[in-house]
A = this chain, B = another copy of it.
Amino acid sequence: MDQADVVVPRQRALKHVQVREHVRSLIEAQPPGSAAPSERELVARFGVARMTVRQALDALVGEGLLERIPGRGTFVAQPPKTAGRLTSFTEEIRRRGMLPESQTLLARVEQAGPGVARALDISPGDPVLHWRRLRRADQAVVCVEDAYLNEVLLPGFLQHGTPTSLYEALAARGLRPSEVEDSISADRASAEEAAILEIAAGDPVLRHARRAVSDGRIVEVSRTCYRHDRFTVYLQLADR
């Protein structure tokens, strides 16, 4: 093996990706309904074939960012539409125009118990990161969350301070969840939960359990207990 084989993965930018990202940056600040560059215009600007431009636009149309109207042009599609999907607490609170905060109550490596081990698809006793946070929105206490992370996938995850957004930290490691299994139920607050959430024991709470999968690997298992008066889950589902 000579040096020539030790190439940096210098992926030469694909034409259609260049065009796609250029258009994406053009339209992301545009209001819905405004016109995107025409296909032939992009052909001239980038010096590429029209099929290449169409491939780029197809991707954006597929993402729901653009809308084609034959005979008229290509336009920025209506607002996010099916927004807020697969979001974390931080992202969800921000989306509602509030300021998310997070106070770590506990962050340590534990040995997985049988329940957590099964949920994370590891063996009981394997190391897991247990991270308990009290979460606020605009200063008001909203929920307490216990997250269990597969330590093997996240070496030294909590060494350099605790990130604000778990999902953003996972994304930075290429482990952003792409699929989740959630369960949502109502229950009574335990004495411990009530103390943390500043409510009375037995008050209604919303429980949310999540198993998050990234690239076929289970990266996060969490259980969250919400004050019933400060949080509602909103969902948009579509059959396709």
A-to-B contact residues, CB < 8 Å: 51, 58, 62, 85-86, 177-188, 204-206, 226, 228, 231-239
Contact = CB atoms under 8 A, between A and B. Distances in A.
A235 B184 contact: yes
Contact of A183 (B86, B234, B238): B234
B185 A233 contact: yes
Given A204-B204, A204-B205, A228-B204, A237 B182 contact: yes
Contacts of A183: 232-235
B182 A235 contact: yes
A101 to B, nearest CB: 22
A156 B121 CA distance: 52
Contacts of A62: 62
A119 to B, nearest CB: 14
Contact of A228 (B181, B187, B236, B237): B187
Given A178-B238, A204-B205, A204-B228, A184 B86 contact: no
A102 to B, nearest CB: 22
Nearest to A180: B237
A232 B184 contact: yes
A239 B184 contact: no
A205 B179 contact: no
Contact of A185 (B58, B178, B179, B228): B228
A239 B178 CA distance: 5
A78 to B, nearest CB: 12
A226 B231 CA distance: 17
Contact of A184 (B85, B187, B233): B233
A86 B226 CA distance: 25
B185 A232 contact: yes
